[in-house]
Amino acid sequence: MPATEEDPKVADAIRSFLAVPVGQSVAEPLMATVNASTHALPPLRITPWANLHLTLVFLGAVPQRVLDDQVIPRVGELLADARPGRIHFRQVAGFPDPGSPRHLVLEGYASPTIETLQRTLREGLAETLGHSRQEQQWRPHITVAHFRDRKPRPITATPWQAELPVAEVCLYASEQGLHGPVYRVRERWPLAQEPDEADATET
């Protein structure tokens, strides 16, 4: 039974997403740059370091039983042959529209294996979750801050190059904390195979 046939407001529904964790080698210089640049930006609510992630598939509010009995086993099946890869970041920019941004993000593009991985997860979970199978553009990014103003001024993108190795996929649960949402890892799937030749030689 698709997850959407459940009442999304049931007590045990968990706001969930599949994502790549952001390691210290990317997070530390990224957040140092953002913190040092706040004077030149509209008012921001900076993402706590522990909440940094790169979303692959947003699942929505999913009942606990559906997560345990359907989603987690299905993700394991979909990732059985998945290969590691990387995200190539190129700039810090306003998102989703630089002219009227809601978030400040580090954005870039994925290597071929990660493009395939994301598409496999999205399409493979569509029936389980009752999501549309319609093709959607995935824009890999890490949200580093949210603009406090509803209509902040346009943001000029700033070049910022880095690479994020993708060696595991995590299932995150969003919980409401004292100062905002807290993202906790509920399940991990390591990508143990070697990256393919195209990823290994890509520059």
Phi, psi at residue 188, to the nearest 5°? -130, 145
Q: Residue 23, Cβ neighbours under 10 Å: how many?
A: 12
Around Cβ 127, how many Cβ atoms within 10 Å? 13
Q: In 3-state terms, what secondary structure has residue 176?
A: strand
Exactly one of 39, 103, 141, 179 is catalytic; name it: 141
The three-state secondary structure class of 98 is coil
Distance CA 182, CA 157 (A): 28
Active site residue 141: yes
Positions of E strands within the chain: 13-21, 44-46, 53-63, 85-95, 103-110, 141-147, 158-166, 168-177, 180-190
- Looking at 53, 103, 131, 146, which residue is catalytic? 53
Q: Are 48 and 174 in contact (CB under 8 A)?
A: no
Token pair for 72: 């987690």
Please list the active-site residues.
53, 141
